Amino acid sequence: MAHKRAFSGIILAGGHSHRFGQDKALLPWRGRTLIQHIAAQFQQLSDDVFVVSGAEIRYADILDVPVYADEIREIGPLGGLYTGLKHARYEYSLVGACDMPLISHAVIELLRDELDGSVWAVVPEIEGHRIPTLALYHKKCLGIIERLLAQGRTSPLAVLDAVPIKIIPEARLRTVDPSLRSFTNINTPEDWQRALSL
């Protein structure tokens, strides 16, 4: 069996949950909070898991993984990605958002199988849209992010436009996750109720 490349696990939890109306990370999910659930899922895949919690350190009192504040604040997910890659122990990191509770290990394995050292990111694509908040990134992306920020560009998609990437198309994702549940985002109370029923 081929050696599986190890990766760090970065959980992005810096959002303000404006659309939801309360902190999504603290929602109850199967006997614990959503952020605890995601951390436990990531810990099954990596021995280097941590949370990036935005402008200030949050959730440290309920988690058994390290929590870091954004090194560059108020630029959204890109700040979390930058901070995460700086702290990551491994060359590659799995990045996931704290509001995606149904991530399938099979989807992660599909992404990991593409890590051959030649690409800087492995990214799912659904309905023609790349999903930067559930993807694998190489530490080499740090320099690209710094360059983009110097140009005033703060979209994670700009990183994907600037580095060698491997796209995992929807058809391949559906072979291991037929209904694409892994990409369920909780943005509203209705999304949450729908996810609980899945």
* 2 domain residue, yes or no: no
- Per the structure, the count of domains in the chain is 1
pLDDT reading at 19 higher than 50: yes
Mean pLDDT of 44-72: 94
Q: In the structure, what pLDDT confidence band is assigned to residue 195 with cuts at 50, 70 and 90? A: confident
Range of the domain at 155: 8-197
* 95 domain residue, yes or no: yes
Check if the beta carbon of residue 137 is closer than 8 Å to that of residue 160. Answer: no
pLDDT at 17: 60
pLDDT at 18: 63
* 1 domain residue, yes or no: no
Mean pLDDT of 37-52: 96
* 64 domain residue, yes or no: yes
Q: In the structure, what pLDDT confidence band is assigned to residue 1 with cuts at 50, 70 and 90? A: very low
pLDDT at 13: 92
Check if the beta carbon of residue 151 is closer than 8 Å to that of residue 128. Answer: no
pLDDT at 3: 53
* 41 domain residue, yes or no: yes
> Residue 160 sits in a domain of what CATH number?
3.90.550.10
pLDDT at 2: 44
Mean pLDDT of 48-58: 93
* 83 domain residue, yes or no: yes
CA–CA dist 174, 168 (Å, integer) = 10
pLDDT at 187: 79
Pick from 107-111, 142-146, 186-190: least confident: 186-190
Model-level pTM greater than 0.75?
yes
* 67 domain residue, yes or no: yes
* 3 domain residue, yes or no: no
Mean pLDDT of 67-81: 90
